[in-house]
Structure 1
Amino acid sequence: MRGTDQGRLCEEFSAGYYGICTLGGMLSSGTTHLVTTPFDVLKVNMQVNPLKYNSISTGFSTLWKEQGPSSLWRGWSGKFCGYGIQGGCKFGLYEYFKRLYSDVLVDRNKTFIFFLSSASAQVFADVALCPFEAVKVRVQTQPHFAKGLSDGFPKVYRTEGLAGFYKGLFPLWGRNLPFSMIMFSTFEHSVDLIYKKIVQKKKEDCTRVQQLGVTCVAGYAAGAIGTVVSNPADNIVASLYNKKAENVWQAVKKIGFFNLFTRSLPIRITIVGPIVTLQWFFYDSIKVLTGLPTSGGLRRCLEEPNLSA
């Protein structure tokens, strides 16, 4: 392994390294999801009541007039806490699994390792997120349900029991697993492509500012592509949590196959593209501040010619 750079707080792939990655994931995911709460409120209302909230501009206007400006920030605590915890698990475990699988599966190509690593991390991340998401969606679409997490958690437990928190776990996996697999793989390959074809320099030969610029471009590409793939499951999650359907199959029939892919897609791209870009930027900025290299690529103790692109 290469020697520790000057100013680096810990060695790569040490317990401290994974701790920094987890903390970076929590801070980057929690803060970026928090600032986009108004768009998320509109998104879930467009999914649950598409006739009333049929566009971004009129949807915001309707929410503002009927429920006041504070309605745009409903569910902010669920966004910040839930997605912060999810982000910590997602980024921290991704780094761990990527190293683990690249060491074990030396005969597999990079894409397979990226897919497997991100899927493994996302399974745990969504188990952590699911209770927060269950409360958040209800708070955002049912004005009198609860004010936030403090009264929302007890109410869900009283009325639906523990199962109420995990009603949407499988649709959540259906939404986030493909999104995460596509997002991480697209990011990794985009980073590699940008350095090879556009920057035409190795990452180590670029300044930190240039490296963070590559991170942002790759992050936006990853978010946009992942959003399109995950949109059907996102619509199903909103429908189940708001009792518009009793199960996944009923939700699909009520929403319609075409609408699964198109309903709320523009606003999701508006939300998710910048979110993912900022997440990767903040995440890699924290790495840079602690003396660690920016994200992208498989790094192991020894060079492996067996890992194909």
Structure 2
Amino acid sequence: MSTLPKTGNTKKVELYTPEYYALCTLGGLLACGPTHSLVCPLDVVKCRLQVDRSLYKGNFDGFKKIFTQEGLKGLYTGVKPTAIGYSFQGATKYGGYEFFKHSYAKLVGEDLAFKYRTSLYLAASASAEFLADILLCPFEAVKVKQQTTLTTHHKSMGAVWKEMSGSLYRGIAPLWTRQIPYTMCKFTSFERIVEAIYDKIPTPKSEMSSLQQTGVSFVGGYLAGILCAIVSHPADVMVSKINAEKLPNETTGQALGRIYGKIGFVGLWNGLFMRIFMIGTLTSLQWLIYDSFKVYVGLPTTGGSSEEQKEE
């Protein structure tokens, strides 16, 4: 659903082949693992505020106190499970999205694929994220436990993993609740925002340089990230709460009910500003890295104008 960008790379990769999907998978790994690791300090403050609003007066107070009390290492609490978990998740999410998007388009046929492209984006991204979260979940559980529990934040990933053995997937349902709508919003809004940008630009995408195309990806990614943060934030709060506070004898449903009874609707929005900044930055950087990688290996950037997509 896009044309090849202008690039100095002469290597040709046939679209929708095993090599194509393998490269998209590698691009997703490179886009997600490093970026989530980079913003780990934002995540530490966000998660701690979600679990206990009284810990800090605000985001900047959180940074200051953590750095003063725990040093730079404290701000990067949980960075190892973050890097590993989101590398697996990103690889599966991006590679899976490309696979499911093309597969579902073939299933419904060319005419219907363009007409109902938004539905295809939603279905493809949901399918990919469902699988990606199965790989992410145990690492997310360890990360949150390290970041929000004073008795474990100084322990290694391996030690916390061992302590949580048997309960590493207790947050899978809230994680799906958070991540699937987030990814559906992330990919679908990105595709439609990028399409709208290309429709407004007088120069066809096929005549734009790779730098210009990745610039469009960056802008589209940031705008999509803002929407993603708002859509997924309540579930993100619950994931943090479940991993930090779920009692051994509780079911996930019981824990959700108890926690919601304690924090209420307003509590579901704790840390939203930080999440908007964090997810907006993350999403824009991820699309920039992903599409830059695709250009580097000789693949088209993601998305295109409505006319170009209709012709394909």
Q: What is the TM-score with the length of structure 1 in the denominator? A: 0.90
**SS of the residue aligned with 1:64?**
helix
- Which residue identity is paired with 2:259? A
**Partner of 1:204 in structure 2?**
206
Could you say what secondary structure the match of 2:55 adopts? coil
The residue that corresponds to 2:236 in the other structure is 234
Moved more, 145-154 or 127-136: 145-154
Instruction: State the 1:2 CA deviation.
Output: 11
Tell me, in whole angstroms, the C-alpha distance in 2 between the residues paired with 1:297 and 1:93: 20
Aligned partner of 1:118 in structure 2 is 125
Work out the CA distance in 2 between the residues paired with 1:270 and 1:86. Answer: 21
Larger mean Cα displacement after TM superposition, 41-50 or 62-71: 62-71
Give the one of 130, 138, 143 matched to 1:131: 138
User: Aligned to 1:281, which of 288, 295, 301?
Assistant: 288
Q: List per-residue Cα deviations over 1:95-149 (Å, max 9, x = no partner).
A: 0000001111233511100000000000000011000001010111123325332
Determine if contact 1:44/1:238 at 8 Å carries over to the other structure.
yes
Report the residue type matching 1:19 in the other structure: A
> Per-residue deviation at 1:9?
4.3
Q: 2:59 aligns with which of 43, 56, 60?
A: 56
Alpha-carbon distance in 2 for matches of 1:136, 1:9: 40
Give yes or no for contact 1:34–1:79 (8 Å, CA) kept in 2.
yes
1:173 and 2:138 matched: no
Check if 1:144 corresponds to 2:151: yes
Q: Does 1:254 align with 2:262?
A: yes
Which structure has more relative contact order (CA 8 Å, sep 6+)? It is 2
Q: What are the superposed Cα offsets for residues 42-94 of structure 1, whole Å, 9 maximum, x if unpaired?
A: 11101111112231111112212333332111100011000010000000000
Give the one of 186, 197, 200 matched to 1:194.
197
Q: Does residue 1:69 correspond to 2:72, yes or no?
A: yes
Structure 1 pair 2/129, CA: closer, same or farther in 2 (3 Å)? closer
SS state of the match for residue 68, structure 1?
Answer: helix
- In the other structure, the counterpart of 2:162 is 154
Structure 2 distance, partners of 1:3, 1:193, is 16
1:3–1:53 CA distance, 2 compared to 1 (3 A): closer
Alpha-carbon distance between aligned partners in 2 of 1:34 and 1:232, rounded to the nearest angstrom: 22
* Code of the aligned partner of 1:188: E
Once structures 1 and 2 are overlaid, which stretch shifts more, 55-64 or 78-87? 55-64
| 1:44–1:243 Cα change, 3 Å | same
Q: Distance in 2 between matches of 1:78 and 1:9?
A: 35
> Which residue of the partner structure matches residue 184 of structure 1?
187
Identity %: 38
Aligned partners of 1:37 and 1:74 also within 8 Å: yes
- Change in Cα spacing, 1:206 to 1:79, as seen in structure 2 (3 Å) is same
For 2:104 and 2:44, locate their aligned partners in 1 and report how far apart those are by CA, in whole Å.
38
**Distance (Å, rounded) in 1 between the aligned partners of 2:57 and 2:221:** 29
**Is the aligned partner of 1:8 residue 2:11?**
yes
Which blocks of at least 5 consecutive residues in structure 1 are unaligned?
none
Unaligned runs of 5+ in 2: none
Instruction: Flag as ranges the 4+ runs of structure 1 deviating above 4 A.
Output: 1-6
CA contact (8 A) 1:78 1:148 kept: no
By how many angstroms is 1:272 displaced? 0.8
Which residue does 2:271 correspond to in 1? 264
Contact 1:98 1:298 (C-alpha < 8 Å) held by counterparts: no
Compared CA separation, residues 67 and 3, structure 1 to 2 (3 A): closer
